[in-house]
Every structure is written in structure tokens, then in C-alpha cells.
Amino acid sequence: MYIDGKWVKAVSNESFPVINPANGQQIGSVPKGGAEDAKLAVDAAEKAFQTWSKMTADQRGHLLRRWYETILDNKQEIAETLVLEQGKPMKEALGEITYAASFVYWYAEEGKRVYGETIPASHPDKRILVLKQPVGVVAAITPWNFPAAMITRKVAPALAAGCTVVIKPAEQTPLTALKLAEAAELAGIPKGVVNVVTGEPAEIGDQLLKDSRVRKVTFTGSTEVGKHLMRKAADTVKKISLELGGHAPFIIFADANLDLAVQGVLQSKFRNSGQTCICTNRVYVEKSIASQFIEKLRDASEKLTVGYGLEPETEIGPLIDEDAYKKVESHIQDAVQKGGKIESGGKRLTEFEGGYFVKPTIISGATEDMKIMQEETFGPVAPVMEFEELEEVVKRANNTPYGLAAYAYTENLKTAVSIAEQLEYGIVGINDALPSVVQAPFGGFKESGIGREGGHFGIDEFLEIKYVSLKI
């Protein structure tokens, strides 16, 4: 682990294995940290905060820029580590590292634009100043599906704002997190500014949450764990940002460019084997084009190459573990029992021993009572349903506790504007299935989260507002 600028074992001296999800084999091991290790990391972050927060934004920006360059200098190596512990195809892993680095680059600059305000006072002898200051020590708890980008999307704005961080990466993907810390060390980020504690999620999490020195928790992961952290954060009234689960609808109107819509569903449903929070979970197609669309989608999905991430032709890798597979399998079985028809895929590919590979699956005749229509599937399964009216499909699309991303394809401007405004989602892609970019606010409505990451919105999450009333 990386605490206070040192590479250390857990206080318990225990470790746990890191498994390659493509074959079930161990690729390494990392320290099994717990409460004591988390406390040591907060000690280091608290100490480093005293100097890091007082540096100028320019000085911090300079170091962040070096971190960005070091990540890119080591892009291939970090991407290989990511593939080995997470399973995604190399092309996607390289894309993730570029995306992850883009947050460091962007916030290296944005830190210089943390502007305060002056407000006209009602008394001639008063001045009202508004300052923005770093919130303090930040705990960043991250998931396995984007082991690099979910870290930099939090840590880069936190550091740019003047905060220091303790990162708790997912137990499935700690090695990528440690590689990023190594790059931070090489870049000259001072000791204690970035700390990584691997190990027991609940024990580390509880310690970070009960420590009143931690002033902010930023989390990406499941809605269930997010709610738990939100409850725990209440005891010390920490600031929180939660990027949680989603259940994205993908709506295709009869006037859409069908080839683009098919390509969009492939990108948004099958990227990372369906394991992204903004992945399409349900597809709604206008009735008049439904059979034509399903045929095109089936043909296109059958061409996708499933395989090991390090093989260059691979487009679809394995699911992260057995639990993930069981959920996908149960969603497919439930859909079939309730009358859904498997158009393609539908099965685990057993030729990959030790890994959980599922062929891209298309299910037609899906109905709203199916599990897959209500729970986040997190796998390469696309249920397709028909609709007839805009108002009807909006109602069905919004009928979920989630509100992260939604997609709509149409060539009609009026339809596009109307649906974009009516969808209760934090991110709406109109004729665009890949909306995640560094400049834009990423985050969810309803049970998909609180707060935004990315853009100038993302740095606000790590700043306190101080009002100074000045009598002269």
C-alpha cells in the first residue's frame, strides 16, 4: 500500500490475492489493510494537508501536469495491469488510461480558476467577500469497472482544490490504483497527499467514515453501498458525492438513423461487457421499425469477438466474477420464463476455463415485469421492447428509482428537445451513446447519486464556501 510516501505492508502483515477474471488465476497479492492502516493514511493526509492546501494553484497544477505526463509515459504498462485484473479488452484499457489522464490534465488547469466573489453590501462601511477553500482530507472509495478513471475523476479535482486523499480501491482491482500512486510518486507529488489503502472494505470504510478529520467522502459504486456510506457520513456530517448504479433506457424513434442507433446500442450496451454504470439496460424501439431494428442489432452483435483482453481482436472480455455471472444468468432465465425470446447469445462460453464470458445477448419481446427491466444487469444483455407514443415511452423510461444516463435516437429536432427535457436522468445522450467527457458534469438523479464529477462542477465538490464580512 502507499501511505505517507512509503510502500508498506498492512499492520496485520496479511495480504489477499488479486485474480485474473479471464481465467481465475492469481496474478499477485496486495496488503489486507484494515482500520489501523486507514487511520495511518488519514494521519498522513491530515499532515500533508497543512502544506499542500497552502501551495499556490499554479504549484499544484504543475505537479498535476507531471502526474498526467507520468501516467501517459507508463500507459501501456498500466493498461496491461488493468486488463489482467479487470478483464476488459486492451483497446478499452488504453482508452480508459487516456480518459483517466485527461482528468489530471484538465484539473491541473481548472485549479487556477477557483474564483471567489465580492458581493455589494448594504452598508457603506462593509465589504462582503466569498472565498473558496479546500474542504480537507478526502476519502475516495472506488469500483472495479473503471479502476483508473474512477480514481482520477475524484483525485485530480480534489488535489487541484488543495485537498489530500485516502483512496480505497475495489478489492478486485487494487493493482491499477497502486500503479497510479506510483506515477504520482514519480511525478513528485509530496508524501501524504495521495495515499492508497487496500484491504477490507467495510473495516477501512467504517474507519474513514467515523474519523472526523475526513471532511469529504466521494464514492462510486453500487446504490446499496452508497446508501450505507451516506448513513455513516451523517455522524460527522461529511460532505458527500455519490456516483451510484443506473438503469439506462435507450429509445429509438422510427425517424432515427437505424445504423447509427444499432452502433449506439453496441457501444453503450456491450462496452466493458455491459459493466458500466451508464450502460444501456433496456431498449425501447418504436413499433413500426422494431423487427427491422432487432434483425440489424442481432447481426451486428453476432460479429463481436469475445476473448481474452490482451488478444488484439478482442471486443468483449469476461465478467468480473462468479456473482456477476449469476446475476446475468438469472436475468436471462427470468426473461425467458416470462416470454422473452433470445435472438442471439444467451449463454456462457464454456471454452474459456476459469473465466465467466457471456456472448452478447439480445432478447426480444421483453416486458416491464422482468427482473432485467428493474435491476441493474451489469452484463452484455439487451432486452428490447416496443413503444408507440413519445409520452408513453417517457413514462416507461422514467419509471425507475435510478436516474443516471438515458439515450434517445431521432432525426427530429422537436422530438429530441422534448425527450431530453422530459427524461429524469443526469445524463442524456441524443444520437450519442458515449457521453462521458472530462468537461461535462457526470452524475445521477434520484437513487443514482448526489453531486457531479467532471468539468468545473467537479472541483466544487471539494471546496467549502467561506463568507467574510469585512467592516472597515
User: Which residues are known to be catalytic?
Assistant: 243, 277
Judged by CB, which is closer to ligand NAD: 193, or 404?
A: 404
- HSE on the CB side for 171, CA within 13 Å? 15
Judged by CB, which is closer to ligand NAD: 245, or 340?
A: 245
Specify whether the CB–CB gap between 138 and 163 falls below 8 A. Answer: yes
Judged by CB, which is closer to ligand NAD: 103, or 146?
A: 146
Judged by CB, which is closer to ligand NAD: 190, or 201?
A: 201
Shortest distance in whole angstroms from residue 306 CB to ligand NAD: 21
| Phi, psi (deg, nearest 5) at residue 386 | -100, 155
Shortest distance in whole angstroms from residue 210 CB to ligand NAD: 11
User: CA-to-CA distance for 448 and 230, rounded, in angstroms?
Assistant: 13
Interface residues with ligand NAD (CB under 6 A)?
141-146, 150, 168-171, 201-202, 205, 220-222, 225, 228, 243-246, 277, 376, 404, 444, 449
- HSE on the CB side for 117, CA within 13 Å? 7
The candidate with the shortest Cα–Cα distance to 195, out of 398, 33, 66, is: 33
User: CA-to-CA distance for 135 and 214, rounded, in angstroms?
Assistant: 9
Shortest distance in whole angstroms from residue 304 CB to ligand NAD: 22
Shortest distance in whole angstroms from residue 207 CB to ligand NAD: 10
Shortest distance in whole angstroms from residue 204 CB to ligand NAD: 7
Judged by CB, which is closer to ligand NAD: 298, or 327?
A: 327
Residue nearest to ligand NAD (CB): 205
Beta strand 117-119 with 26-31 is: unpaired
Shortest distance in whole angstroms from residue 291 CB to ligand NAD: 31
- Output the CA torsion sign for 272, 277, 357, 371: negative
* Cα–Cα separations (whole angstroms), residue 120 to 123, 126, 129, 355, 470: 9, 9, 9, 64, 12
